């Protein structure tokens, strides 16, 4: 049996670093949301929404997939706001994309 064959036979075991990678990604997303919530060039309701999405994301008592879905829901509403400047919309879409990669 070759090394390739033994890998194919062994069951799939999640890597130990997967959880820490998700934690790092979650921290980066939370930082991006904090930056958006402090950006004076976006309307106040967008800043409040970004803070709300960050709060949803950081609720450790809730399962990660529920937190991500809640944050995406809030951000999706914000992205459709007609008063949102282009750079803010782009930032929100980027954050949503990063959130979806966590799932």
CA of residue 53 relative to chain centroid, distance: 9
Q: Are 43 and 83 in contact (CB under 8 A)?
A: yes
CA distance 99 to 25: 8
| Domains delineated in the chain | 20-102 (1.20.1440.50)
- How many CB atoms are located within 10 Å of the residue 40 CB? 6
Q: What is the pLDDT of residue 92?
A: 96
pLDDT per position as a tens digit, 51-103: 999 999 999 999 999 999 999 999 999 999 999 999 999 999 999 999 999 87
Contact yes or no for 63/14 (Cβ under 8 A): no
pLDDT of residue 6: 46
Question: 2: which 2 tokens?
Answer: 């070759």
pLDDT tens per residue across span 2-13: 454 444 444 444
Task: Over range 46-55, report the average pLDDT.
Answer: 96
Report how far residue 71's alpha carbon sits from residue 69's, in angstroms, rounded to the nearest whole number.
5
């Amino acid at each position: 049996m070759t090394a390739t064959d033994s890998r194919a036979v062994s069951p799939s075991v999640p890597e130990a670093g997967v959880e820490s990678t998700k934690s790092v990604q979650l921290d980066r997303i939370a930082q991006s949301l904090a930056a958006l919530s402090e950006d004076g060039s976006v309307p106040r309701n967008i800043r409040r929404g970004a803070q709300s999405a960050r709060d949803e994301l950081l609720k450790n008592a809730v399962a990660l997939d529920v937190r991500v879905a809640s944050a995406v829901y809030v951000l999706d509403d914000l992205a459709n706001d007609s008063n949102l400047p282009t750079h803010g919309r782009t930032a929100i879409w980027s954050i949503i994309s990063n959130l979806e990669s966590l799932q």
